[in-house]
Structure 1
């Protein structure tokens, strides 16, 4: 009798694995919305998706046992909507399950501040005026996977910059109306202001650097990374100095999404930071990655945090 039961028992023992493989094969693709033109964070050109966010999205999809479907979007700042509203509309309309690269601000999470919004540009979207208003849900965030920072850009032959005081005798440029410009203006009661060069929003900061109008630039690290992707032989490099601005990036989804989705996302973020894959992927994509800083979700940059040594 046991001779006949043995293969049957073996078959039943394999059943959970078979069912698991079948479930993975029939699971819906994990749809992740990423910014279409924010290299090296994320970029989709001629159907090819690249960037740190895409690498991370693939790892999450793999861990969840689902295929990955990247959905690129392009947002514009308008009076009638904000980034948070448009992201919410993408999720609430079912265009995606997760959205990457979301600034983790308390004010933008939780219940929406308005009842409805239109989705931003994405594949298959109707003309803006023809898009319906989508009822908005409640946004919840993953753990952060990256901190936003400001950096000093300088010539490779210039002396190191480890603190802002190292810029005291330099003509340092910053765009007006930005955190970088504010930081230079107020640092240590304006000690850097005499040599500061204020650039307008329309000016090309790289032209000012090339022409010698400024000796160095203070700007978002992401802006330098994007420039270097297009100018691989550039003489301009990032100095050692980096200033976190008190704002992390993470994924967002709806509060009504399955809890397992955020659990898997958070596990992948923690594992890839711990085992070094996050840093490795960032380097491979040309992104100057900085680890998330506490708190995970903030109220935004503060003057105290920006100006401290």
Structure 2
């Protein structure tokens, strides 16, 4: 009798384990992606979802043997929000377990300075969702999967100009958006040597790359992904890449809650395998992204101090 009780007990344990495995396999891997960040992620009504992070998310979920569910959100700019707070709120509210395309910097991974934050606009949000605040948790990064630097882009009149450093921009008509990282870099270079050749535009109002393409200016310094997005939208554009990358850039990866260690370990395992097979670089090519592999430092420190010290 004791023998049969032991057998039944073991059978019950195995059945429970199998049921748990089935539930885990059926449980979607929920990843939050920005709906308007080409070529990383794009979600438009009536069109298939696209972008580098979409392809990578699909591959990660497949490696884990789980269906993928993308939670699309829209970033907003106000005094009560930031990419860090948006990601934290989405994760802490259970909207997703991972946020993709996250810039891995020391200030984006510190403990939040506030206890709660509002959710960004997201697909399926209700009026109450837009009003309420979410208690924030602690963030933990995955290993990086792509490097995102600043690059010099040239207008038609400067096409072919050799750029090996910021100093090679001397003599060119420079254009930059006020308050941007590129603005800080150009304005502080060599104690302000380039200031007199810089024209400032208002972000969100003026068309920086359009003005450059018209030949109104000769060069700018922007995020490489932004140039890729412009080139995809305007295949016949007159602006060209210089091939120069500013030496301070950030890796991008996933971010999740620090309490979900098992998921972060599984994510890193999948990323390691995909990178070794060359799949991540292949996804970049498919999405029209100038793919650069991650580099040291894995997590970028105080970028403003680094700029000042250049």
For this structure pair, what is the TM-score category when the shorter chain's length is used for normalisation?
A: 0.7 to 0.9
Is structure 2 residue 275 aligned with structure 1 residue 273?
yes
Give a deviation string over 1:62-112, Cα, whole Å, max 9, x none: 111101111100121222333222221211221111111122233332543
| Residue of 189, 193, 197 corresponding to 1:195 | 197
| Residue of 222, 225, 228 corresponding to 1:222 | 225
> 1:11 aligns to what?
none
What TM-score results when the alignment is normalised by the length of structure 1?
Answer: 0.83
Q: Secondary structure of the equivalent of 1:50?
A: coil
Count of aligned residue pairs for this structure pair: 292
Answer yes or no: is the 8 Å Cα contact 1:140–1:254 preserved in 2: yes
Give a deviation string over 1:223-247, Cα, whole Å, max 9, x none: 2112112111212221110114342
TM-superposed CA distance for 1:158, in Å, is 2.5
> 1:43 aligns to what?
42
Q: Structure 1 residue runs of 4+, over 6 Å off?
A: none
Do the aligned partners of residues 153 and 262 (structure 1) sit closer, same or farther apart at CA in structure 2, a change above 3 Å counting? Answer: same
TM-superposed CA distance for 1:29, in Å, is 0.7
| Separation (CA, whole Å) in 1 of partners of 2:121 and 2:91 | 14
| Separation (CA, whole Å) in 2 of partners of 1:161 and 1:306 | 21
> 1:80 aligns to what?
80
| Separation (CA, whole Å) in 1 of partners of 2:277 and 2:225 | 23
Is structure 2 residue 179 aligned with structure 1 residue 177?
yes
| Separation (CA, whole Å) in 2 of partners of 1:87 and 1:127 | 20
Give RMSD over aligned pairs.
2.8
| Separation (CA, whole Å) in 2 of partners of 1:24 and 1:55 | 24
Answer yes or no: is the 8 Å Cα contact 1:155–1:237 preserved in 2: yes
> 1:9 aligns to what?
none
Do the aligned partners of residues 233 and 21 (structure 1) sit closer, same or farther apart at CA in structure 2, a change above 3 Å counting? Answer: farther
Do the aligned partners of residues 302 and 256 (structure 1) sit closer, same or farther apart at CA in structure 2, a change above 3 Å counting? Answer: same
Do the aligned partners of residues 103 and 208 (structure 1) sit closer, same or farther apart at CA in structure 2, a change above 3 Å counting? Answer: same
Superposed, 1:121-136 pairs within 5 Å as 121-127=121-127, 131-136=131-136
